Structure 1
Amino acid sequence: MAPMLAALALLALISVSEQGPHEKRLLNSLLNSYNTLERPVANESEPLEVKFGLTLQQIIDVDEKNQILTTNVWLNLDEKNQLLITNIWLSLEWNDYNLRWNDSDYGGVKDLRITPNKLWKPDVLMYNSADEGFDGTYQTNVVVRNNGSCLYVPPGIFKSTCKIDITWFPFDDQHCDMKFGSWTYDGNQLDLVLKDEAGGDLSDFITNGEWYLIGMPGKKNTITYACCPEPYVDVTFTIMIRRRTLYYFFNLIVPCVLISSMALLGFTLPPDSGEKLTLGVTILLSLTVFLNLVAETLPQVSDAIPLLGTYFNCIMFMVASSVVLTVVVLNYHHRTADIHEMPQWIKTVFLQWLPWILRMSRPGKKITRKTIMMSNRMRELELKERSSKSLLANVLDIDDDFRHVPPPPNSTASTGNLGPGCSIFRTDFRRSFVRPSTMEDVGGGLGSHHRELHLILRELQFITARMKKADEEAELISDWKFAAMVVDRFCLFVFTLFTIIATVAVLLSAPHIIVQ
């Protein structure tokens, strides 16, 4: 092993001794008369052709809020007649007219490594740079070959401005331009040409977890600016990327749908539980937090409203409306007869037609179209009957038949017939009456019983009125509670339909749904 290492060291020394003097002599021959300010062309009237290409290695970050695209590039500048190839690594390759030699004259030396500050190179910069130092490349050596071609591969992190379109966020595609051109040489002195008409080289691209690369076409442009009459040539590469929506789908859209479904379940919660309104307000606060998370990732612009923001606003509107309608439901549920009187339109809408449409029924009452029509007809007949009955019959809620039936025997005109409802009193009165012996006894007995009858009627009217009022109050409270239940069921159907339509509309309106 030791002799082998010694032999390798000897070969290395021999090689250095042979190539070292030739390389030094070649460098002195090339650089002694070389002028870094001279544009390396044979004819100064002709433009120097620079082939420009770009190799995208990695998309480091897309800052939507500040609208900045950060990429890792190699810059390729080919100066055979000046060739700029941005490989992302920016890789520059060109052919210098003043850096040509015959390798046989210099011991077979075919290439050199020279620092860029000792050579001429085109001042190609990215026009839309957002970097603090404007040029984010690191200066490395230039590889010069005997035919004059120069290869310059400075690694760098490029930050370029990018107009972010948030209309379809998070189902959006972004087109970010990277515009490269000479800063001082116009089109008559330096002509940029695309190395590959298809655009940038994507063979070394590293997959990004947030963005999917669609393509990177390139285009040559010749523009005359207001500052100068000469045309300037630039090459613009458009990085076409598509957002991977899997993260946003499972971390924003799915939780939003689940939270909105919880708001729908709030309509099935009984009002007596005491948590109906609390649930709605809590869900509204949760959606507000999710909306803030979306707003933090988007630029503060008013050019467009993001699709996800529109969806969140629709769901928030639905939840806010559910909170308002929950207040209405609780108000209806806790109404009493001594404070509120149910209007006729509420009875018609919430006690008849809406329950029939929603297929709801009350215990012992089946609500159909036929029963609704019969109930309305019975109410009309009852109003007519009440208008034709006497005051006493309306008060006691008895049949008004004493005006038509002749009085029974052994009765006086003052007592009259009180109808079937008072037949027991009439029997008791007859039993209590004893044939008087004198006229005074007759007059005294009739007066005493007349007073007793008036007292009994007064008490009977009071008890009947109280019982009737209690029944009416209980029935009215039951009607209000059923109306609240109908509003709950109606809101459940309406908001469920609204949530489904909004979710489906958002997904179908997106240019694409999911990119893995």
Structure 2
Amino acid sequence: RGSEAEHRLFERLFQDYNEIIRPVANVSDAVIIQFEVSMSQLVKVDEVNQIMETNLWLKQIWNDYKLKWDPADYDGAEFLRVPAQKIWKPDIVLYNNAMGDFQVDDKTKALVKHTGEVTWIPPAIFKSSCKIDVTYFPFDYQNCTMKFGSWSYDKAKIELVLVGSSMNLKDYWESGEWAIIHAPGYKHDIKYNCCEEIYQDITYSLYIRRLPLFYTINLIIPCLLISFLTVLVFYLPSDCGEKVTLCISVLLSLTVFLLVITETIPSTSLVIPLIGEYLLFTMIFVTLSIVITVFVLNVHYRTPTTHTMPAWVKAVFLHTLPRVMFMARPAGGEGGGADRCSSLIDVSRPLSLSLPLCEKSIKCIKKRKRKEIRLWPGWCGPVVEPQPQNQEVTVRFPIQDDWKYVAMVIDRIFLWVFILVCILGTAGLFLQPLMARDDP
């Protein structure tokens, strides 16, 4: 009997019903539409094309005086579900739709109450235009708006009433990339240039925040490790011959890394993303380390036959800077130690050495672990004639040690400079989103 009652009710309601005419008793009356948007899912945010894709439920409630009945006449039936194509519906559309249909599909059914109240909740997937600012990517916040309103009816024909102060998020399915901070709704009365009437719209401002964990693990931490390897280049001794090799290896690894993540970073020319700035900073960082390493190696392998050490270099790099950076040169390693050993054996003229002087000279030679003059059996005799090549060795080794120490001092300077630049550069880049944060 229930089915028969609903059949009779349906036939009676839609016998002379016209779904094109507004359901008002007087033409001057406006249909009051209670409007609420429920967010089901934030599908995707396309930074390149500046499109936000969402899955929404548009809840619309209005009163249709032609759809009233007495439940007692139809076996107590208080509700009737009817196809949406059969009844009048407000033509609510998304104004800032980027692609697809502007209007929702009417294949879902509407719930009609015996008092004439009609409730229609059609689901729809919208692709709305959204101005994306990727300056602080991947620590960025976005504000995407969705503007809903009637396309045909002005304020005198349809009056929109905003239900609640914000978008309904009770049935929201959490996104793995974005978190919704707030989604307030606003009602506006606007007069467009095309028409004289005033049109109403309800606009939702969707404040979303990107979840940076994925990009932190896969982008930022590898960049930090590469920067740390660049700093270690200046702690590597020049004698090992692997300084330039390490620099080139780091540069190649960074280049390959950049090629891999090119598709991950938003490709836009409007602004440079924060992670792009950091990658550029790291690339410049590594390139400068290669240039400085080549210069340090050039200083390290200088000899008296190619370069003469200026007095200011001795004063700055052998005395002043080591004290500033708390570097202690081993005893006998400075120029003074070389002079003391050289004073024991004067190779500029024939040597006349006694046995005690010979013993002191041998001790000095062992201490420096350098062969300043060649010793033969019976060398500690009354008179020894030095060979010319021995005179060159005596002078060359102390000056070579000074050049090596200068290279070590330069390495130590840039070690601290690069550590400081790495820390300050990293902190300066990634503190920008926190300082520029503007929550709604």
With the length of structure 2 as denominator, give the TM-score of the two structures.
0.81
Of the three residues 482, 494, 497, the one matched with 2:417 is: 494
Q: 1:278 to 1:421 in 2, by over 3 A?
A: closer
Of the three residues 81, 92, 97, the one matched with 1:124 is: 92
Secondary structure of 1:487 counterpart: helix
Q: Are residue 237 (structure 1) and residue 204 (structure 2) matched? A: yes
CA distance in 2: counterparts of 1:485 and 1:257, whole angstroms: 25
**1:271 Cα offset (Å):** 2.3
Match for 1:131: what amino acid? M
Q: Deviations over 1:212-264 (max 9, x none)?
A: 22121100112222222222211111122222222322332222222211111
Of the three residues 73, 85, 93, the one matched with 1:105 is: 73
Match for 1:226: what amino acid? N
User: 8 Å contact 2:52–2:127 — kept in the other structure?
Assistant: yes
Match for 1:78: what amino acid? I
CA distance in 1: counterparts of 2:256 and 2:352, whole angstroms: 71
Match of 1:470 in 2: 393
CA distance in 2: counterparts of 1:338 and 1:366, whole angstroms: 20
Of the three residues 165, 170, 175, the one matched with 1:203 is: 170
CA distance in 1: counterparts of 2:147 and 2:326, whole angstroms: 66
**1:467 Cα offset (Å):** 4.0
Match for 2:268: what amino acid? V
**1:422 Cα offset (Å):** 8.5
**1:512 Cα offset (Å):** 8.3
Match for 1:146: what amino acid? H
**1:160 Cα offset (Å):** 1.6
Secondary structure of 2:201 counterpart: strand
Q: Are residue 147 (structure 1) and residue 110 (structure 2) matched? A: no
CA distance in 1: counterparts of 2:347 and 2:20, whole angstroms: 120
Match for 1:354: what amino acid? L
CA distance in 2: counterparts of 1:396 and 1:244, whole angstroms: 74
Aligned length: 400
Match of 1:261 in 2: 228
Greater shift, 155-164 or 257-266, is seen at 155-164
Q: Are residue 96 (structure 1) and residue 19 (structure 2) matched? A: no
Higher relative helix content: 1
Q: Are residue 69 (structure 1) and residue 38 (structure 2) matched? A: no
Of the three residues 353, 361, 378, the one matched with 2:320 is: 353
**1:52 Cα offset (Å):** 0.9
Q: Deviations over 1:314-352 (max 9, x none)?
A: 232222211111111122222333333334443333233
Q: Deviations over 1:2-21 (max 9, x none)?
A: xxxxxxxxxxxxxxxx2333
Of the three residues 208, 215, 221, the one matched with 1:248 is: 215
Q: 1:178 to 1:357 in 2, by over 3 A?
A: same
Greater shift, 253-262 or 306-315, is seen at 306-315
Secondary structure of 1:54 counterpart: strand
CA distance in 2: counterparts of 1:473 and 1:227, whole angstroms: 91
Q: Are residue 169 (structure 1) and residue 92 (structure 2) matched? A: no
Secondary structure of 2:67 counterpart: coil
Q: Deviations over 1:144-182 (max 9, x none)?
A: 121111222222222222222222222222211111111
Of the three residues 503, 508, 511, the one matched with 2:426 is: 503
Highest CA radius of gyration, 1 or 2?
Answer: 1
Match of 2:6 in 1: 23
Match of 2:283 in 1: 316
Match for 1:287: what amino acid? L
Q: 1:114 to 1:396 in 2, by over 3 A?
A: closer
Match of 2:402 in 1: 479
Q: Are residue 45 (structure 1) and residue 28 (structure 2) matched? A: yes
With the length of structure 1 as denominator, give the TM-score of the two structures.
0.70
Q: 1:138 to 1:352 in 2, by over 3 A?
A: farther
Q: 1:265 to 1:423 in 2, by over 3 A?
A: closer
Match of 2:237 in 1: 270
Q: Are residue 362 (structure 1) and residue 285 (structure 2) matched? A: no
Q: 1:205 to 1:422 in 2, by over 3 A?
A: closer
Q: Are residue 228 (structure 1) and residue 195 (structure 2) matched? A: yes
CA distance in 1: counterparts of 2:217 and 2:266, whole angstroms: 22
Gaps in structure 1 of 5+ consecutive residues: 1-17, 80-94, 379-394, 399-419, 425-459
Secondary structure of 1:331 counterpart: helix
Q: Deviations over 1:21-71 (max 9, x none)?
A: 332332222222111110111222232221111111222222223322222
CA distance in 1: counterparts of 2:32 and 2:262, whole angstroms: 47
Match of 2:380 in 1: none
Secondary structure of 1:98 counterpart: helix
**1:125 Cα offset (Å):** 1.0
User: 8 Å contact 1:276–1:326 — kept in the other structure?
Assistant: yes
CA distance in 2: counterparts of 1:154 and 1:512, whole angstroms: 42
CA distance in 2: counterparts of 1:319 and 1:54, whole angstroms: 51
**1:195 Cα offset (Å):** 1.0
CA distance in 2: counterparts of 1:365 and 1:133, whole angstroms: 86
- What percent of counterpart residues are identical? 43
User: 8 Å contact 1:58–1:71 — kept in the other structure?
Assistant: yes
What's the C-alpha RMSD, in Å, of the aligned pairs? 3.1
User: 8 Å contact 1:128–1:160 — kept in the other structure?
Assistant: yes
Q: Deviations over 1:119-148 (max 9, x none)?
A: 110111111223333446462112212111
CA distance in 1: counterparts of 2:144 and 2:173, whole angstroms: 18
Q: Deviations over 1:373-402 (max 9, x none)?
A: xx9xx9xxxxxxxxxxxxxxxx9857xxxx
